[in-house]
Chain A
Amino acid sequence: MTRPETFQRRSHLYRVCREAGARWRAVNGFGAPAHYGDASGEADAAARLAIADLTALPRAGYKGWGMADWIRDQGVFLPEPNQAQRQDDGTLACRLSSGELLLLADDEEATLIDRLARAWSMDDAVCFPVPRADASARLVVTGSESAAMMAKMCGVDLRGRRFADHAIAQTSVARMNVIVLHNDRGAAPAYDLIFDSASAVYLWGCLVDAMAEFSGSIVGLDAIDALRG
């Protein structure tokens, strides 16, 4: 069986996921939880309420007063602040302010993120890269009960009719600074949480505690991929 220690990169949550019975697969140089022993059951659970560790998926950030001009020159469609926009290759461009962008890939292919990393250079920099791949962790809360569960942890109304798909709230979740992205997977509501990676175990514990009331589950990447169809 694949073990996370055999990979060079691991999520801060790998011990927690191992305790929960994770079965691993290689994603982007990480050992990432594929499932926890019941792949088809997890797909059903993810449609109702589940959390998954997506830290292994590629992400990047750029910040600075020249960010908008530079990123448009690279062919990226730039949304308004606190909105995300899906790019041609599937990457989500999340604009955090007039001068900051976060890029999230929903699978291992990250054409745009790789291309921007090659295009950026110190010599003619008008913005600088933010080390999102290392400094941030990424979790997802999926399913029809996800907004109700998040209401226990976050003061912003995240229900779909008030917080549309691809809206972003940079706010406090369980007393931590968290970027909340409404990023539905197929027909299932879903919220991506991007936050300081050093606090991943704390926030994971808060989420597990909060979803117990709704009989939520821990699921792997396979279940999230199944929701996306």
Chain B
Amino acid sequence: MKIMPCPLNGPRNISEFSCGGEVEHLPPPDCDHAQWIDYVYLENNTAGIIREWWYHTPTAYWFVAERDTRTDEILRTWPAGDFLAEFGEER
């Protein structure tokens, strides 16, 4: 069983979690259709280190995890508030 280090609950079976997709900037409200389509439908499919939203179902808790898609290793996790405080607009 793969283990996810949840910032609230500690290490837990991955079956308790759902992935919410890669952390991305919301496009500006006046952006064109191509930008919206890219944001809503298209995945980056990066082979490397990415940051994703994850959800711990029993606690309804969202957080951010850094994962290497080549090895499927989870490298680091943050509470959502800490992540936004640390990276803010840079993400």
Contact = CB atoms under 8 A, between A and B. Distances in A.
Contacts of B15: 172
Interface string A137-180: 00000000000000000011000000000000111100001110
Contacts of B12: 155-156, 171
B29 interface: no
A87 interface: no
Interface residues of B, number: 13
Interface of B: 1, 8-10, 12-13, 15-16, 56-59, 61
B9 A170 contact: yes
A155 B9 contact: no
18 contacts: A81-B8, A96-B59, A97-B8, A97-B59, A155-B1, A155-B16, A170-B56, A170-B58, A170-B59, A171-B9, A171-B12, A171-B16, A172-B13, A172-B15, A172-B16, A172-B58, A177-B57, A179-B58
A81 B79 CA distance: 13
Interface residues of A, number: 13
Contacts of B9: 82, 169-171
Nearest to A178: B58
Contact of B61 (A97, A155, A156, A178): A97
Given A96-B59, A170-B59, A172-B58, A82 B16 contact: no
A97 B15 CA distance: 20
A52 to B, nearest CB: 23
Contacts, number: 31
A82 B12 CA distance: 14
A177 B60 CA distance: 10
A172 B56 CA distance: 10
A88 to B, nearest CB: 28
Interface string A73-90: 000000001100000000
A178 B61 CA distance: 14
A54 B9 CA distance: 25
Given A155-B12, A155-B13, A172-B58, 10 more contacts: A82-B9, A96-B59, A97-B59, A155-B1, A169-B9, A170-B56, A170-B58, A170-B59, A171-B58, A178-B58
B66 to A, nearest CB: 22
